[in-house]
Amino acid sequence: MDFLDLFPGLQPWVKSLSEGGLITLFQQAEWLFPVVESFHLLALATLGGCVLVLNLRLMGVGMTSESPALIEKNLRPFLWVAIVVLIVSGLLMGTVVAQRLYSRPAFFIKMLSLAAALFLSLGVVGSVARNGGLITQRAKIMAGVALAIWLFAISIFATTYGPAPGTQHIVYAAWLITMAFGSKSTRIILGAISAVWIVAHFLATFIIWNPSDDYDLVMEIDRWSLRCFALTVTGFMLWEFAGPKSDQSVSPKLTRLIGLLTILVWVTVAASGRWIGLGGGDG
């Protein structure tokens, strides 16, 4: 699914975008695009720091000696600067390659998850942090909407041929968070499962079967193997951060889940963004 499928009527407008003066400028100065993209990356890093530090605190880990309200207040200006630079540089790059983005599913996934991420970071997390972990009715509804949008986005992400491998980044981010902040027993069990999974996956897709002889079979194994691993990681992650034994005193369960969701949604935005270029083929 992409914007071309949904809004075919926009074609003339998208075409006119890529015939404007901006594209001539970018064509004349070949270095301009990578320079703009560099700023996109610097802002991505800044955003990553702000989102991680604040939302890990909401999850009850990281800078637990400080209140979420203090962390939110300190990081807010940089979060805003990062989001503005990301959107401005993104619009510049997007205008230049508008025709390509129009038909790329990865771009559609990115815009969906971006909407969810902005809902969460600007509408929910700020209010939860400022109210000392208290979640207002409005924040609950917004978080629910964001969750629904995100689930829709990752279901397209995982089932669209080109960018599908990009969903691995979301799984690996969840894995890293669980391994970094989970209990000792979870680390040992999930670590062992992961090691077995890597070896089994390698054997199944390179040694026993390989892409040049059994392409379709290997792709199918690849997909299902990743789905099973994703389910396993999700199970351990939810058990750790929202399970019966999770520590409610540092941060209540729902607050933890909002922090976790916000981190994973931003990872989805970045991952689908990178796979606009890597996923190849117009969908």
Partner 1 sequence: MLHDLFNWFQTVPGATDGDPGTSWAAQLVGSLHLWAVLEATHVLTLMLFAGTIIVVDLRMLGVIFRTVPYSTLNNKILPLTVAGFGLLILTGTILFFAEPLKYYHSVWFRLKMIFLLLAAANIFWFHQRTHKTIAEWDAQESPPTGVRVAAALSLASWGLVIIFGRMIALSSFNCENLKANPVAYAFAECESQMREAIEAEEAYEEEEAAEGEAVEGEATDDSAAPEDPPPEEPAESAPTPAPGDGG
The answer to whether residue 34 forms part of the interface with partner 1 (CB under 8 A) is yes
Contact criterion met (CB below 8 Å) for 31 and 91: no
What is the SS3 assignment for 73? helix
Nearest to 157 by CA among 201, 119, 120, 108: 108
Report in angstroms how near the CB of residue 91 gets to partner 1 at its nearest: 12
Residue 106 or residue 129: which is nearer to partner 1 going by CB? Answer: 106
The 3-class SS string of 142-161 reads HHHHHHHHHHHHHHHHHHCC
281 touches partner 1 by CB under 8 A: no
The residue (of 65 and 137) whose beta carbon lies closer to partner 1 is 65
DSSP annotation of 243 reads S
- Write out the binding residues for partner 1, residues 77-106 only, by CB under 8 A: 78, 90, 93-94, 97, 101, 106
Binding residues for partner 1, how many (CB under 8 A)?
A: 59
Q: What amino acid occupies position 184?
A: K
Contacts of 34 (CB under 8 A, 6+ apart): none
Lookup: tokens for 146: 């964001």
266 contributes a contact to partner 1 by CB under 8 A: yes
Return the range that interacts with partner 1 (CB under 8 A); candidates 13-21, 136-144, 244-252, 268-276.
268-276
Specify whether the CB–CB gap between 49 and 77 falls below 8 A: no
Toward partner 1, which CB reaches closer, 63 or 196?
A: 63
Binds partner 1 by CB under 8 A, chosen from 44, 158, 174, 230: 44
For residue 121, the tally of other CB atoms under 10 A from its CB is 22
Of the ranges 15-23, 29-37, 114-122, 125-133, which one interacts with partner 1 (CB under 8 A)? 29-37
**Cα 96 to Cα 127: distance, rounded to the nearest angstrom:** 36
- Residue closer to partner 1, measured from CB, 97 or 139: 97
**Rounded to 5 degrees, what angle do the CA atoms 102, 36, 3 make?**
10
Contacts to partner 1 by CB under 8 A: 30-31, 33-35, 37-38, 41-42, 44-53, 62-66, 70, 74-75, 78, 90, 93-94, 97, 101, 106-107, 110, 165-166, 168-169, 172-173, 176, 180, 211, 218-219, 222, 266-267, 270-271, 273-278, 280
